[in-house]
């Protein structure tokens, strides 16, 4: 059984039962246009379909997990404790690109990870390993980019961080083996999905309040217009005979209901938040076009 390798904001492990309760009894191919940490995908382990994310470094990570698990694990095994001294014979041993002193090994690896947005050459397997390392040793498991696309999460404080993730990577590699991993806008699924397929949408969430932001995990963001496009895409798939399940912030419940989707609100605690004291339970919606009489019997 595969489990998520990365910590990722908005992970669905807490509400998997609510999602599975809305699955059709049978379907053909499976598509997940917002893969993120992949809690549902890895638990489901579909035999055919597509997964997608707009974050190119996350997509590269999953492609390396699928295609080069041995090399990926070897890179991870070579990394040192995040609070160790920088490695003197590697780039950014003293200062980063802006001339700021490198305090420890974590910040050296963070600077190396940001080769892609800086326009520098990079090795895809090394980049994937760095993503996993920083994800497991950075502050609160956050993934955050600035406007230039550079990962900017500070070091975390962990007694014994586990960044190698050997077993999880090899199990995930087997699940990804027969699945197409894409790096496109979510609307690709309008062409990829056929009648009888199942699509699960788990987008960056609509903020719960004017000051909240659930969409800062990539430089491009995911705004109100994108939420409107997503709802239109879900309705188009419904018209085309494709089964659709969506999760999103509870504030959008009425909008999904007006478009004909069956909507339920479920409570879920925020496992990742930049404020460790602000991880209260929030309402999430699970919406579907699958009629109750055609759903999985559990």
pLDDT averaged over every residue in the chain: 91
The residues, any chain, with a CB within 8 Å of residue 97's CB and separated by 6 or more, are 111, 114, 118
SS3 content of the chain, % helix, strand, coil (to 5): 35, 15, 50
Ramachandran sector of residue 147 (left: φ over 0; alpha: ψ -120 to 50; beta: rest): alpha
Pairwise pLDDT comparison (227 vs 1), residue with the higher score: 227
pLDDT, one tens digit per residue, over 170-213 is: 999 999 998 999 999 999 999 999 999 999 999 987 654 444 44
The pLDDT of residue 113 is above 90: yes
**Mind listing the domains of the chain with CATH numbers?**
15-53+184-294 (3.40.50.150), 60-166 (1.10.1020.10)
Confidence of residue 215 (pLDDT cuts 50, 70, 90): very low
- pTM of the model as a whole: 0.90
Q: What count of Cα atoms within 13 Å lies in the side-chain half-sphere of residue 292?
A: 3
Compute the chain's Rg from CA coordinates: 20
Confidence of residue 222 (pLDDT cuts 50, 70, 90): confident
The pLDDT of residue 217 is above 50: no
């Amino acid at each position: 059984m595969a489990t998520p390798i990365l910590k990722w904001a908005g992970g669905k492990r807490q509400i998997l039962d609510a999602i599975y309760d809305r699955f059709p009894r049978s379907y053909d191919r499976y598509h997940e246009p917002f893969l993120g940490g992949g809690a549902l995908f890895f638990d489901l382990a579909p035999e055919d379909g597509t997964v997608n994310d707009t974050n190119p470094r996350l997509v590269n990570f999953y492609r390396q997990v699928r295609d080069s698990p041995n090399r990926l694990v070897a890179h991870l095994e070579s990394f040192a404790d995040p609070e160790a001294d920088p490695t003197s014979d590697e780039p950014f041993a003293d200062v980063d690109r802006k001339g700021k002193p490198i305090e420890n090994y974590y910040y050296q690896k963070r600077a190396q990870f940001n080769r892609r947005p800086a326009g520098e050459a990079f090795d895809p397997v090394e980049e994937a390993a760095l993503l996993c390392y920083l994800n497991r040793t950075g502050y609160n498991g956050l993934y955050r980019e600035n406007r230039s696309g550079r990962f900017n999460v500070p070091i975390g404080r962990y007694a014994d961080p586990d960044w190698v993730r050997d077993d999880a990577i090899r199990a995930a590699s087997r699940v990804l083996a027969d699945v197409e991993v894409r790096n496109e806008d979510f609307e690709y699924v309008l062409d990829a999905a056929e009648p009888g397929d199942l699509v699960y949408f788990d987008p960056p969430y609509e903020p719960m309040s004017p000051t909240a932001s659930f969409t800062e995990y990539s430089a491009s963001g995911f705004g109100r217009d994108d939420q409107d496009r997503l709802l239109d895409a879900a309705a188009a798939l419904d018209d085309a005979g494709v089964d659709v399940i969506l999760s999103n912030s509870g504030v959008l419940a009425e909008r999904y209901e007006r478009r004909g989707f069956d909507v339920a609100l479920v409570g879920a605690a925020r496992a990742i938040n930049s404020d460790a004291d602000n991880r209260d339970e929030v309402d999430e919606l699970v919406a579907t076009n699958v009629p109750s009489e055609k759903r999985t019997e559990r």
